[in-house]
Amino acid sequence: MTTDRHEATVLLTADLQEESEQVQALAHALNLPHHALDPVRLLSRNLLSILVHLATVSASAAAVVDAADPPTGAHLRALARIEQAQQALLSAGGSMATVLDQLTSPDSTITDAAGLAQAGRLRAGALLISASAHLGAAAAALRAAPPG
């Protein structure tokens, strides 16, 4: 790995670690009780945050592929973990979207919108913890990459 690629890998490792921490912070926030007057708006903001993280993680996957030519085992392990994080983020977003659909359906007979919103947030929070762990593991795999 050239010096430029090594420096890119070091920066990518730091970015993945930071993203892992941000996803974990979002998961923690989702697990907190809320007293929102509008659960639909709250879930919409949460879904937006998840989608932003998904975009960031997807960009990181592209950067891992670009950082190694040819790819090393460490890069391939990091990429596999990033892909697992993407799957967890997609599932968290899907959980939020399902709850939003239930809350906004004109035929909805839901009597406890706040409870349903909190259940959706808890499910998404658990999936985000998984995504955060995979991102941390991806960063660890890149730290193990040979310097070049």
For 118-139, the pLDDT digits (tens) are 889 999 999 999 999 999 999 9
Q: What is the pLDDT of residue 129?
A: 97
Cα separation of 101 and 114, whole Å? Answer: 14
Beta strand segments in the chain, E: none
pLDDT in tens, 12-58: 999 999 999 999 999 998 888 777 678 888 889 999 999 999 999 99
Task: Please enumerate in sequence order all residues whose Cβ is within 8 A of that of 108, keeping only pairs 6 or more positions apart, or say none.
Answer: 102
User: pTM above 0.85?
Assistant: yes
Helix, strand, or coil here: 53?
A: helix
Structure tokens at 135: 């991102």
Cα separation of 105 and 99, whole Å? Answer: 10
Residue 64: closest CA among 141, 148, 136, 147: 141
Structure tokens at 56: 């960031």
